A and B are shown apart, each in its own frame.
Chain A
Amino acid sequence: MTAIATIAGITFRQLVSRRRTILMLLLGAVLVVVALAFRLGSDASSPSDALSWTVGLLEYLGIAALVPLIALIMGTSAIGNELEDGTAVHLLTKPVARWQVGVAKLLVAIPIAAVLSGVPILLAGLIAAEAPSAGFGYAIGAVIGSAIYVTMFMALSLVTSRAFVIGLGYVLIWEGLLSGLFKGIATLSVRQYAISVARSITDGLGNLTLGADARLALGTAVVAAIVVSVVALAVLLRRLSRLEIAGETG
């Protein structure tokens, strides 16, 4: 247990570096600012219009943009940086099982990503719409999305050194471009899982029927999300346990 705590502590201080945190707070701020601008600008929109617009904002700018971007930055840095600059050796040459190293990093990276994207989404949702249902619903969707994304991207950073770019390709091309063209891709899109969950919760809180319009039914989304998470976690732990670090000069 102390081992996990120690590693988690180091990882936390590593991820919450000043420059990185400021960048991500700025991104979150954009969302909140837009919500504010909407609230202050549009005088004549009815509560239902406002809610519908808020949902759009939280979906397009929150779940589809903020959540994956922050998760990408956190997930690829959590272990990728250490592998690249060689400090990983210090963690791996200790009598600590490799899976504990992986778990420790997840336990830090996921909450940080979830907070950095979830809180702005919650705030924006509360500001832009009268009813709080969208804010909470999408904040929870953001947390779920962050967790899955971070696990995936951490696993990815153990597979390739260009995890950031490939992760970008996944988010923008697979989940963005192709998903728009081929509807079937939704089953393999973390974004859609998050949206499905978000809409269902918003429906429950606010007595709406957004869930009906979601690309994925809640049941499918939950099952697929679990499968993807388990696979990502398995890849992460397995790759970590077999990780080899070669010397520089041989």
Chain B
Amino acid sequence: MPPDAGHAAAPGQAGASEIYDIGYRGYDGLRLGRVHATWALFVASVRQAFGLGRPARAKIAPWGLAAIAIIPAAVALAIVASAGPNFSPFSYDDYIWQMQAVFGIFVAAQAPELVGGDQRHRVLALYFSHAMERVDYVIAKLGAIVGALVIVMGAPMLVLFIGRILTAGDLAGAIGDELGSLPQVIGSPLLHAVGVGALSLAIAAFTPRRAYATGAIIALFIVGQGLSQAVSRLSSGFLRDFGPMVNPFVWLDGTRDWLLGGTVSESPVARSDLSLSTYGLVTLVVVVVSIGLLIWRYRRIST
């Protein structure tokens, strides 16, 4: 070990000035641009939403909930396989509505993961000092939560779809039958993912504390659900038609009904007097406002 007491001219000592060549060079190579940066953030965020690349503890919530979302579909298939297609407890139309609690918890738990961490650990400055613009950040995160929700909501639908084809006696005929339902199988998860994802992300983006964000998002769903059940027994009126709108799944279900058809009997949509296009309008407004809020928030946020 080298002795430390005053030896030859040590760096910093008077009279000794030097430039140290430590081999640092600037980067002259190819730089992938904004699009690539945004795509990379998107992929990383989707992985984050499912706890990939993190210890097992982070995977419990998303994977557990995704499993709970799929199980009934698998069970329904088993029922259909043994008892015939008329005995299915689920159809494409009402699956997402029936399982809304699971999806609500998923987004309440994971949306804060996507946007809360960056604010808490103050890494936004790192993101924005590179090719990525603030808008790109929003696009990537929004895409990620929507993508994650499409996976979680779409997987059970896919299971139902493929299962129905496979368990039918006549394969070719079954494919023809089920193909008609394809818009529902693809469109319904996509629609719900966009509506739920945009709103939840907007809420989560306003606080770095995960507990508050999760609480606020889930409060919306819980109160919404309770409210729609409470007012469902009213015969008419403003409360009965608009009260349930607190629950995002209600206006999403209405929009789904409007665009893709298939009314769910348990949903307030069936009971209300509103025209289906009203739900479509509400969906549009909420999604646009949510995205606007997200962009506004990230434009204004100080890094």
Q: Which A residues lie at the B interface, using CB under 8 A?
A: 19, 23, 27, 30, 34, 37-38, 41-42, 52-53, 56-57, 59-62, 64-66, 68-69, 73, 77, 81, 161-162, 164-165, 168-169, 171-173, 176-177
CB atoms of A73 and B105 under 8 A apart: no
Segment of B79-87, B176-184, B232-240, B275-283 in the binding face: B232-240
Task: A24 to B218: give the CA distance in the assembly, Å.
Answer: 13
Kindly report which residue of chain A lies nearest to residue B106, judged by CB atoms: A165
Kindly report which residue of chain B lies nearest to residue A53, judged by CB atoms: B233
| Across-interface contacts of B61 in A (CB, < 8 A) | 162, 165
Minimal beta-carbon separation of A84 from chain B (angstroms): 9
Give 16 A-B pairs besides A37-B238, A172-B105, A177-B102 with Cβ atoms closer than 8 angstroms: A19-B212, A27-B219, A34-B243, A41-B239, A52-B233, A53-B233, A56-B233, A65-B223, A66-B226, A68-B222, A69-B219, A168-B108, A169-B64, A171-B222, A173-B101, A176-B225
CB < 8 Å neighbour of A27 from B98, B223, B237: B223
Task: A77 to B105: give the CA distance in the assembly, Å.
Answer: 18
CB < 8 Å neighbour of A65 from B64, B99, B109, B225: B225
CB < 8 Å neighbour of B227 from A61, A168, A176: A61
Flag B205-245 by CB within 8 Å of A: 1 or 0 each: 00000011011101100110111011101100111000100
Q: B37 at interface (Cβ–Cβ under 8 A)?
A: no
CB atoms of B230 and A60 under 8 A apart: yes
Interface size class of B (residues with CB under 8 A): 35 or more
CB atoms of A34 and B214 under 8 A apart: no
Task: A81 to B98: give the CA distance in the assembly, Å.
Answer: 33
Q: Which B residues lie at the A interface, using CB under 8 A?
A: 57, 60-61, 64-65, 68, 98-99, 101-102, 104-105, 108-109, 211-212, 214-216, 218-219, 222-223, 225-227, 229-231, 233-234, 237-239, 243, 246
Minimal beta-carbon separation of A14 from chain B (angstroms): 13
CB < 8 Å neighbour of A169 from B57, B105, B215: B105
| Across-interface contacts of A65 in B (CB, < 8 A) | 222-223, 225-227
| Across-interface contacts of A165 in B (CB, < 8 A) | 61, 105, 108-109, 214
Query: How many A-B contacts at CB < 8 Å in the complex?
Result: 96
Kindly report which residue of chain A lies nearest to residue B61, judged by CB atoms: A165
Of residues B104, B214, B222, B230, which shows the largest number of chain A Cβ atoms within 10 Å of its Cβ? Answer: B230
CB < 8 Å neighbour of B99 from A19, A171, A177: A177
Q: Can you give 17 contacting A-B residue pairs, CB < 8 Å? A: A23-B219, A41-B237, A41-B239, A53-B234, A57-B231, A59-B230, A61-B230, A65-B222, A65-B223, A161-B57, A162-B57, A162-B61, A168-B105, A168-B109, A169-B105, A173-B101, A176-B225
Given contacts A164-B211, A172-B105, contact A64 B226 (CB under 8 A): yes
CB atoms of A30 and B214 under 8 A apart: no
Minimal beta-carbon separation of A188 from chain B (angstroms): 17
CB atoms of B60 and A162 under 8 A apart: yes
Kindly report which residue of chain B lies nearest to residue A175, judged by CB atoms: B101
CB atoms of A73 and B215 under 8 A apart: yes
CB atoms of A34 and B227 under 8 A apart: yes
CB atoms of B237 and A42 under 8 A apart: yes
| Across-interface contacts of B234 in A (CB, < 8 A) | 38, 42, 53
| Across-interface contacts of B57 in A (CB, < 8 A) | 161-162
CB atoms of A164 and B105 under 8 A apart: no
Q: Which 3 A-B pairs have the closest CB atoms?
A: A65-B226, A61-B226, A172-B101
